[in-house]
């Protein structure tokens, strides 16, 4: 009988945390360091499932090279720490910030209790980062013999190569992003105001997503409150679309012109990115020309990305397309960016001509989003999320790219 493989994305499995910790311990050993202090809420969730709300009250996870762990947090988050955080040996609680008991003093106590007062410890900052106006003394003020190595990317870089589970979650985000985009376009028409329809599309898709994933689904997210789908146009309609980072307005949609959409979903902190160029009414021949360039350029990039080439190689191919077609005046940005767990959907590395030393590897996930921006006419952009495989890519997002399926009346 053939093996049947199933996925359960209701929550991150313990095996995934174990694998992530193993890579962290191996990296610590390679760096000849005794421990690492993790301050970032995203990185704490990545390594432990922590769902604590980090504001001005310092929180930190400490992992030692030999597999021990401890967590710092305020009294306000005690129950959250105990309920949500996985595989942590001991919690250290202080009363409040600024409070009567120093929070960074307590972090120093953790280092002492782990026997690392004279050790080498890696951290992203000299102390807890300045969030919500908080101001904190440096950790070495309390541990003068500690060798504190500052490396903002030590833990972050563990997320560059995605696991099979990571990619499956992004693939699931992509499915719901496609549905959200379909819901959005179904209620888009000339004269409508964008904020009226984005909430409807997002709400309807989110409700369906939560129902399908079921009661066991871990719907909590760190910064968005609950897992959700989203879709919108961000004000990129008609000639306004020539500004790729436009903003939503209450200006009614016109009777005709290009319309650039964006959609995705947030599941277990993962994101996806899907963008399409639609048309309000029949497009002109000039609009069709730039639409076709966007499709052809994206297809060229799909056929370019593979393991072993650099991020710069990909972006250079994109730029060459613009140059060969006399369209550099329509160019605004690099080819794409990594996609994963970051809040705004952008992660390192980027498909950019400046990253000549970053080699593409299997397990990397990118957006591929060439755009053509024509003043007085509009924007023409497609974005799809792709995963790099051993031999090429898998396109994780799906939605038609032909004009007939992208007309909005």
Output the domain CATH number for residue 144: 3.40.350.10
344 lies in some domain: yes
Residue 4: exposure state from Cβ atoms within 10 A (0-12, 13-18, ≥19): exposed
| Among candidate residues 112, 127, 100, the one with its CA nearest the CA of residue 64 | 112
Tally the domains of the chain.
Answer: 2
State the pairing for strand pair 120-123/147-150: parallel
The answer to whether 388 and 170 are in contact (CB under 8 A) is no
- Are 70 and 179 in a shared domain? no
Q: Are residues 130 and 180 in the same domain?
A: no
Examine the domain organization and report whether 154 and 180 are in the same domain.
no
Element (H, E) at 321: helix 311-324
Final residue before a domain boundary, out of 158, 190, 209: 158
With respect to residue 223, please indicate whether it lies within any of the assigned structural domains.
yes
User: Do residue 149 and residue 169 come from a single domain?
Assistant: no
Domain hosting 291: range is 160-408
pLDDT tens across the length of the chain (409 residues):
566 666 678 889 999 999 999 999 999 999 999 999 999 999 999 999 998 888 899 999 999 999 999 999 999 999 989 888 999 999 999 999 998 778 999 999 999 999 999 999 999 999 999 999 999 999 999 999 999 999 999 999 999 999 999 999 999 999 999 999 999 999 999 999 999 999 999 999 999 999 999 988 888 888 667 899 999 999 999 999 999 888 898 999 999 999 999 999 999 999 999 999 999 999 999 999 999 999 999 999 999 999 999 999 999 999 999 999 999 999 999 999 999 998 677 999 999 999 999 999 999 999 999 999 999 999 999 999 999 999 999 999 999 999 999 999 7
> CA–CA separation, 336 vs 333, rounded Å?
8
Q: Within this chain, do residues 214 and 344 fall inside the same structural domain, yes or no?
A: yes
265 and 132 belong to one structural domain:
no
Cα 278 to Cα 8, 32, 38, 171, distances in angstroms: 35, 53, 43, 23
User: How many helices (H) and strands (E) would you count in the chain?
Assistant: 8, 19
**Within-domain flag for 7:** no
> Any idea what the CATH number is for the domain that residue 268 is in?
3.90.230.10
Per-position b or e across 240-274, b if 16+ CB within 10 A of its CB = bbbbeebeeeeeebeebbbbbbbbbbbbbbbbbbb
Q: Are residues 103 and 187 in the same domain?
A: no
235/252 same-domain check: yes
Q: What is the pTM of this model?
A: 0.94
């Amino acid at each position: 009988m053939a093996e049947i493989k199933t996925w359960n994305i209701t929550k991150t499995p313990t095996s995934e945390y174990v694998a992530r910790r193993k890579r962290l311990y191996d990296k610590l050993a390679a760096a000849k360091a005794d421990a690492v202090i993790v301050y970032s809420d995203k990185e704490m969730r990545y390594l432990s499932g922590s769902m604590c709300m980090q504001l001005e009250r310092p929180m930190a996870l400490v992992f030692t090279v030999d597999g021990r762990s401890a967590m710092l947090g305020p009294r306000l988050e005690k129950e959250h720490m105990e309920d949500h955080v996985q595989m942590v040996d001991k919690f250290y609680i202080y009363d409040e910030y600024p409070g009567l008991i120093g929070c960074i003093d307590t972090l120093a106590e953790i280092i002492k209790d782990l026997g690392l007062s004279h050790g080498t410890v890696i951290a992203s900052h000299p102390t807890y980062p300045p969030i919500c106006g908080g101001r904190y003394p440096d950790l070495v003020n309390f541990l003068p013999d500690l060798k504190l190595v500052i490396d903002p990317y030590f833990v972050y870089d563990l997320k560059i190569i995605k696991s099979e589970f990571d990619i499956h979650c992004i693939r699931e985000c992509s499915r719901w992003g496609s549905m959200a985009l379909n819901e959005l376009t179904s209620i888009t028409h000339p004269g409508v105001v964008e904020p009226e329809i984005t909430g409807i599309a997002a709400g309807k898709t989110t409700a369906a997503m939560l129902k399908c994933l079921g009661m066991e689904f871990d719907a909590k997210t760190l910064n968005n409150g609950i897992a959700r789908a989203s879709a919108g146009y961000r004000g990129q309609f008609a000639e306004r679309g020539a500004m790729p980072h436009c903003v939503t307005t209450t200006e009614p949609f016109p009777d005709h012109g290009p319309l650039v959409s964006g959609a995705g979903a947030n599941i277990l902190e993962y994101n996806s990115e899907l963008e399409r160029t639609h048309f309000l009414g029949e497009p002109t021949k000039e609009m069709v020309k730039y639409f076709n360039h966007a499709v052809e350029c994206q297809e060229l990039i799909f056929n370019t990305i593979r393991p072993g080439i650099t991020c710069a190689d990909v972006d250079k191919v994109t730029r060459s397309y613009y140059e060969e077609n006399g369209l550099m005046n329509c160019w605004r940005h690099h080819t794409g960016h990594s996609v994963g767990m970051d809040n705004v959907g952008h992660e390192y590395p980027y498909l950019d001509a400046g990253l000549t030393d970053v080699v593409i590897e299997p397990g990397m996930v990118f957006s591929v989003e060439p755009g053509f921006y024509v003043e007085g006419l509009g924007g023409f952009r497609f974005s799809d999320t792709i995963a790099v495989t051993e031999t090429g890519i898998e396109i994780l997002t799906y939605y038609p790219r032909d004009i007939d399926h992208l007309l909005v009346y």
